[in-house]
Amino acid sequence: MTPPVLGGTRRAVGADDRAACFQVRKDVFVGEQNVPEEIEYDEHDATAVHVLAVAADGSALGTGRLLHGPDAAGRTGGDLTVGSLGRLAVTREARGLGVGAALVRAVEDEARALGLTGVDLHAQTLALGFYERLGYVAYGPEFPDAGMPHRAMRRTF
């Protein structure tokens, strides 16, 4: 099978885009990583900025979300000038094609558009190198999230 070609990233708008984001998350986190579905979706989904990566044919390749303002405060040490990147997921067939990096940059663009000065995230420990290559710096101790080890990371603009 020919790997998909990244057609681009965009802010998710409308019900169809949001459904595509949620389906990618379900496939990756619930289906592959065995995250319980009841903790995958939360109250922040309603107010978060969601981004979507699509193939040239329009099919969804990945997603991520940006929490901002009070919704992000619990993940940023209370710093309202910093957003929180989360729920970054890339479909199995699109991994290794630059989709994850494109999604991180799309979230950062949305953060800048909101006037934020940086982005925090909680990275699965196995993904630390990926985020470090994109300019993120780990801080604080390792902690469990959904049964997997994570570290907090931040990139300041």
In this predicted model, what pLDDT tens digit does every residue of 72-106 receive, in sequence order?
Answer: 999 999 999 999 999 999 999 999 999 999 999 99
What pLDDT is stored for residue 3 in this prediction?
A: 80
Beta bridge partners of 144: 149
Q: Is the pLDDT of residue 54 over 80?
A: yes
Return the closest-CA partner of residue 130 out of 98, 94, 86, 92: 98
Please write the tens of the pLDDT for every residue from 115-129: 999 999 999 999 999
Work out the pLDDT band at 146, boundaries 50, 70, 90: confident
Q: Is the pLDDT of residue 1 over 80?
A: no
Percent of the chain with pLDDT over 70: 99
Q: What is the CA radius of gyration of the chain?
A: 15
What pLDDT is stored for residue 147 in this prediction?
A: 87
Q: How many CB atoms lie within 10 A of CB 109?
A: 14
What is the Cα–Cα distance from 101 to 26, expressed in whole angstroms? 20
Return the closest-CA partner of residue 64 out of 38, 9, 15, 103: 103
Averaged pLDDT for residues 142-155: 94
Contact assessment for residue 64 and residue 89, using Cβ atoms and an 8 Å cutoff: yes
What pLDDT is stored for residue 37 in this prediction?
A: 92
